[in-house]
Structure 1
Amino acid sequence: MTPTPLPGPWPHRLRAARAVMGRELSKFLRQPARLASALVRPLLWFLVFAAGFHNVFGVAIIPPYETYIEYKVYMVPGLLGMIALFNGMQSSLSMVYDREMGVMRLLLTAPLGRGWLLAFKLLAGTALSVLQMVVFLAIAWGFGVEFEPLHLLGALPVMVLAAALLAALGLMLSVYVRQLENFAGAMNFVIFPMFFISPALYPLWKLEEAGAAALHLLARYNPFSHAVEAMRFALYGQANATSLLVIGTGTLLCFALALRGYDPQRGWIRQRGAA
C-alpha cells in the first residue's frame, strides 16, 4: 500500500491560524457587550471633549489639513489610536490569563514554531482592533465627521499597521507582566503616558508653544504619536513616511522582544520551571 503523504507545512500553519485566530474572534463575537464597552470610552471623549473643548483648542492649518477644521474632526485619528491601544492591552491581558491557566504552555508545546503562534496571536489582536476602529468611523460619520471614501480605503492598510504596532506592544508586555493582579498597574504606566503625551487630543505645537520642551520631545519619540499621525495623514490621502517607518520598525522590534521572551531557553517558561 502506498503511504498517504503528510500534509505540507503551510496547510498545517493555516489550520493553526484558523484555530488560534478563530478562538480570539469567536470569544469577541460571542460577547456583543465587549464591543459596546470598547466603544464607550472613545465615544465619550468624542462627544464630551469635542463639545467642551470646541472653542479651547484651535487647530491651525498644518499638514495634512488645508483649512481650519472642527476639533471633533481633529480628534478622530487620536481616538482610533485609543481603540487600538486599549485593545492591544486587552490582548496582552488575554495572554497573561492564558499563561496563568496553562493554555500558553500547552500551545507552545504544539508542533508549531513559536514565531508562527505569536504571529497568529498578533494577527488576531490586529483584526479585533481594526474591526472596532471601522465601527467607530461609521459612528463618527453619523455625527457629521466625513472623509473621502477613497481616502478611507487608502487609510485602512495604515490602520492595520497602527493596530499591529500596538498589538505587538501588548504582546511584548505580556512577557513581563507575571500575574493578572499586576496588570492594571502596568496598563496605567503604559496606556496613559502614551496617550496623553501624543498628538491624539492636541497638536504637538501646542506643547512647544506652552514651553513644555521635555513633553514635546517625548511626544515626538512616542510610537503612539506616529501611529496617530500616520492615520491622520492617511485619512486625507497622504502618506507620512517617517511615521510609517517608525510603525514598521516598532512592530518588528516589539514582536522580536516578545518572541525572545517566550523562548523556553531564556524566557518566562524557564523561570517558571526553575521555580
Structure 2
Amino acid sequence: MQSPALSLNATPTLPLHLLRALRAVVGRELNRFLRQPSRLGSALVRPLLWFVVFSAGFNNVFGVAIVPPYETYIEYKEYMVPGLLGMVALFNGMQSSLSMVYDREMGVMRLLLTAPLARGWLLAFKLLAGTCLSVLQMAVFLIIARLFGVEIPLAHLPGLLLAMACGATMLAALGLMLSVYVRQLENFAGTMNFVIFPMFFISPALYPLWKLEESGAWWILKLAEFNPFTYAVEAIRYAMVGQFHGLSWAVVLGCSAVFFVLALWGYDPQRGWIRKKGSA
C-alpha cells in the first residue's frame, strides 16, 4: 500500500498539469488587465468615438437597404455595432500580439515554452486568454450600445456571444501568428497599422458591401470578400438578428485553425522562424 507521503509527492497527472498551466497563463493575462482599468477605457474610446460621432453624423447619409440579414430599414448606429465589436476584437488581438513580443524580449516566453507541456497547449492557453479579454471588452461595449438605444432580444444573446467569441478567437490567433514575425517592439506599430486598418476599412464594418458594388468599386469589393475580418463581422451581424450565416462561420473557424497552426509552426524551434532567428 502506497504511503501518504509518496502519494503527495506523486507526479501530477496531465489534466492537473493542464489545469495549472491554464490558470497560470489565462490568470496572468486577466489579472494584468484587471490591475490596469485604463486599458479597458483606452480599448473602448476608439469604437465609442466612432459609434457616437459617426452614427450621429452619417445617420442620414447612409441608407441601409432591406438586405439580409435585415428584414426592415434600420438606423445606421445599429448597422455599425457588429463592425465596432469586430474592431474591439481586432485591436485586442493585436494588443495580444504586442504582449507576446514584449514577453519574448523580456524572456518570459523562453520560460513559458520550456514548461513540461506541449507548446500547442501553452499557445492554446495564450489564445484563450486573448479571446477572454476580447469578449470581456466586447460585452462592455455592447452594454454601452444598449444605453444608446441599440436593442438586442435576449433570445439572440447566446448566439451573439458565441459569434463574438469565435470572431475574437480568429483575431487573437491572427495576433498570435503575427507575433512570430514581429521581432522587436519598435517594429510593432508599423506592422500593426499595415494589418489593422486595411482589415477594418476593407470590410462591411462601416458600410455594406452592396454599396461598394453599387458604386463600381469592384476591386475593393473583391478585397473585402477575401478579408477574413469581413466574415467575423458578418457572423456577428447575423447573430444579432438571430440568424446563422454558414459561410461566415466556416471562414472564421477555418481561419482560426490556419492562423493557430501557423503560429504553432512558427514557435516550434525545430521548424519555425524562431530557429532561424535564434531566439525563443
TM-score range, shorter chain: over 0.9
1:172 corresponds to which residue?
Answer: 177
2:37 corresponds to which residue?
Answer: 32
CA positional deviation for 1:258: 0.1
The answer on whether the counterparts of 2:88 and 2:138 sit within 8 Å (CA) in structure 1 is yes
1:239 corresponds to which residue?
Answer: 244
User: 1:87 aligned to 2:92?
Assistant: yes
Q: Report the identity percentage.
A: 73
1:258 corresponds to which residue?
Answer: 263
2:157 corresponds to which residue?
Answer: 152
Q: In structure 2, what is the Cα distance between the partners aligned to 1:20 and 1:121? A: 6
Q: In structure 1, what is the Cα distance between the partners aligned to 2:203 and 2:220? A: 9
Q: In structure 1, what is the Cα distance between the partners aligned to 2:278 and 2:183? A: 14
The answer on whether the counterparts of 2:180 and 2:274 sit within 8 Å (CA) in structure 1 is no
1:17 corresponds to which residue?
Answer: 22
| Partner amino acid, structure 1, of 2:142 | L
SS in 2 for 1:61: coil
Spell out, residue by residue over 1:40-96, the C-alpha distance to the aligned partner (whole angstroms, 9 max, x if none).
000000000001111111100011111000000000000000000000000000000
CA positional deviation for 1:188: 0.8
Q: Which residue of 93, 101, 105 corresponds with 1:96?
A: 101
| Partner amino acid, structure 2, of 1:56 | V
Q: Which residue of 227, 234, 240 corresponds with 2:232?
A: 227
Q: In structure 2, what is the Cα distance between the partners aligned to 1:271 and 1:107? A: 20
SS in 1 for 2:278: helix
Give 5+ residue unaligned stretches, structure 2. Answer: none
2:142 corresponds to which residue?
Answer: 137
Q: In structure 2, what is the Cα distance between the partners aligned to 1:104 and 1:143? A: 42
2:62 corresponds to which residue?
Answer: 57
Q: In structure 2, what is the Cα distance between the partners aligned to 1:17 and 1:147? A: 33
CA positional deviation for 1:269: 3.2
Q: In structure 1, what is the Cα distance between the partners aligned to 2:41 and 2:182? A: 27
1:120 corresponds to which residue?
Answer: 125
User: 1:66 aligned to 2:74?
Assistant: no
| Number of equivalences | 275
CA positional deviation for 1:267: 2.5
Give 5+ residue unaligned stretches, structure 1. Answer: none
User: 1:8 aligned to 2:13?
Assistant: yes
CA positional deviation for 1:194: 0.3
Spell out, residue by residue over 1:228-267, the C-alpha distance to the aligned partner (whole angstroms, 9 max, x if none).
0000000111000000000000000000000000001122
SS in 2 for 1:59: coil
Pairwise CA RMSD: 1.3
SS in 2 for 1:66: coil
Q: In structure 2, what is the Cα distance between the partners aligned to 1:215 and 1:246? A: 19
Distance 1:268 1:104, change over 3 A: farther
Q: Hey, which bits of structure 1, 4+ residues long, moved more than 4 A?
A: none
SS in 2 for 1:99: helix
Q: Which residue of 92, 108, 115 corresponds with 2:113?
A: 108
Q: In structure 2, what is the Cα distance between the partners aligned to 1:115 and 1:242? A: 27
Q: In structure 2, what is the Cα distance between the partners aligned to 1:260 and 1:215? A: 32
The answer on whether the counterparts of 2:177 and 2:262 sit within 8 Å (CA) in structure 1 is yes
Q: In structure 2, what is the Cα distance between the partners aligned to 1:230 and 1:180? A: 33
